A and B are shown apart, each in its own frame.
Chain A
Amino acid sequence: MATMVTSTRTVTAKTTGSGPKRPGPNGNGRNGHSHFEPDANANRYRVGMWVALASISMLFTALSSAYIVRAGSSNDWVSIAMPKVLLLSTALILVSSVTLEVSRRNLKSAAFSGYGRWLLITMFLGLGFLASQLLAWKQLARQGVYLVSNPHSSFFYLLTAVHAVHLICGLLALIFLWVRSRFKKELKVTPRGQAVADAVTIYWHFMDALWIYLFLLLFLWR
Chain B
Amino acid sequence: MSGETHEGVHRHPAPTGFIRKYIFSLDHKVIGIQYIILALAAVLVGMTMSLLMRLKLSWPDHGWSLLGALFPGGAPNGVMNPEFYLSLVTMHGTIMVFFVLTTAPQGGFGNYFLPIQIGAEDMAFPLLNMMSFWVTLVGFVVILAAIFFSGAESTVGPIGGWTGYAPLSALGAIAGPGQGMGMNLWIISIAIFCVGSLLGALNFITTLLNMRTKGMSLMRMPLTCWAWFTTAVLALLSFPVLLGGGILLLLDRVAGTSFFIPGGLYVSGVLSGSTANFPLHTGGSPILWQHLFWFFGHPEVYIAILPGMGATSHILATFARKPVFGYRAMVFAIFAIGLLGFFVWGHHMFISGMSPYSAIAFSVLTLSIGVPSAVKTFNWLGTLWGGRIRFTCAMLFALGFVSLFVAGGISGLILGQSSLDLAMHDTYIVPAHFHLVMGVASIFGMFAALYFWFPKMFGRYMNETIGKFHFWVTFIGVYCIFVPMHVMGLVGMPRRYSQFTEYEFLHGLHPLVLFVSISAIITITVQLVFYFNVIWSIFKGAKAPDNAWDATTLEWNTASPPPHDNFAGILPTVYHGPYEFAVPGAPNDFVMQTDAAVEVPSGNGHNGHKH
Contact = CB atoms under 8 A, between A and B. Distances in A.
B3 A17 contact: no
B518 interface: no
Interface string A169-194: 00000000000000000000000000
A196 B609 CA distance: 43
Contact of B285 (A8, A30, A70): A70
A6 interface: yes
B594 A29 contact: no
B557 A3 contact: yes
Interface string A40-58: 0101100110011011101
Interface in B158-186: none
B210 A30 contact: yes
Interface in A53-75: 54-56, 58-59, 61-63, 65-66, 69-70, 73-75
Interface in B1-49: 1-12
Interface string A1-29: 11111111101101111111011011111
A147 B288 contact: no
30 contacts: A3-B592, A19-B609, A20-B606, A22-B602, A27-B217, A29-B213, A29-B220, A33-B6, A34-B121, A34-B565, A34-B571, A36-B8, A43-B210, A44-B207, A47-B124, A47-B205, A51-B236, A54-B237, A62-B292, A65-B291, A65-B292, A66-B292, A73-B283, A74-B284, A148-B255, A148-B257, A148-B279, A151-B259, A158-B248, A158-B251
Given A7-B573, A29-B216, A36-B10, A66 B288 contact: yes
Given A7-B573, A148-B258, A151-B283, 17 more contacts: A2-B567, A2-B572, A5-B572, A7-B3, A8-B597, A29-B220, A34-B10, A34-B121, A36-B8, A43-B210, A54-B236, A58-B240, A58-B241, A59-B244, A63-B248, A69-B291, A158-B251
Nearest to A52: B202
B464 interface: no
B602 A15 contact: yes
Contacts of B241: 58-59, 61-62
A10 to B, nearest CB: 9
Contact of B283 (A17, A62, A76, A162): A76
> Per DSSP, are chain B's interface residues mostly helix, strand or loop, or mixed?
loop
Contacts of A154: 251, 257-259
Contacts of A27: 214-217, 220, 573-575
A50 B241 CA distance: 18
A37 B9 contact: yes
| Leading 6 A-B pairs by shortest Cβ distance | A27-B215, A19-B602, A74-B283, A34-B8, A28-B217, A62-B244
Interface of B: 1-12, 119-122, 124-125, 198, 201-203, 205-207, 209-218, 220, 236-241, 243-245, 247-248, 251, 255-259, 262-263, 279, 282-285, 288, 291-292, 295, 546, 557-559, 565, 567-575, 592, 594-597, 599, 601-604, 606-607, 609-611
B601 A16 contact: yes
A34 to B, nearest CB: 3
Contacts of B121: 34-36
B244 A7 contact: no
Contacts of B569: 34
Nearest to A50: B206
A185 to B, nearest CB: 17
A55 B285 contact: no
A29 B282 contact: no
A147 B285 contact: no
A29 B279 CA distance: 60
A148 B253 CA distance: 12
Interface of A: 1-9, 11-12, 14-20, 22-23, 25-38, 41, 43-44, 47-48, 51-52, 54-56, 58-59, 61-63, 65-66, 69-70, 73-77, 147-148, 151, 154, 158, 162
A35 B122 contact: yes
B15 to A, nearest CB: 12
A15 B410 CA distance: 41
Contact of A31 (B212, B244, B565, B568): B212
B595 A6 contact: no
Given A51-B236, A76-B283, A26 B214 contact: yes
B606 A48 contact: no
Given A2-B572, A70-B283, A29 B212 contact: yes
Given A4-B597, A5-B5, A151 B575 contact: no
A13 to B, nearest CB: 8
A29 to B, nearest CB: 4
B407 to A, nearest CB: 33
Contact of A55 (B122, B236, B592): B236
B2 A9 contact: yes
A172 B372 CA distance: 45
Nearest to A148: B256
Contacts of B255: 147-148
Nearest to B209: A47
B299 to A, nearest CB: 11
Contacts of B240: 55-56, 58-59, 61-62
Given A33-B6, A44-B211, A147 B257 contact: yes
Given A1-B559, A22-B602, A8 B209 contact: no
B285 A73 contact: yes
Contacts of A4: 592, 594-597
Contacts of A38: 11
A38 B245 CA distance: 39
Contacts of A162: 247
A12 to B, nearest CB: 7
Contacts of B239: 55
Contacts of A35: 120-122, 124, 211
Contacts of B7: 34
A37 B121 CA distance: 11
Nearest to B604: A23
B210 A31 contact: yes
A58 B239 CA distance: 9
Contacts of A148: 255-258, 279
Nearest to A27: B215
Contact of A5 (B9, B124, B237, B573): B573
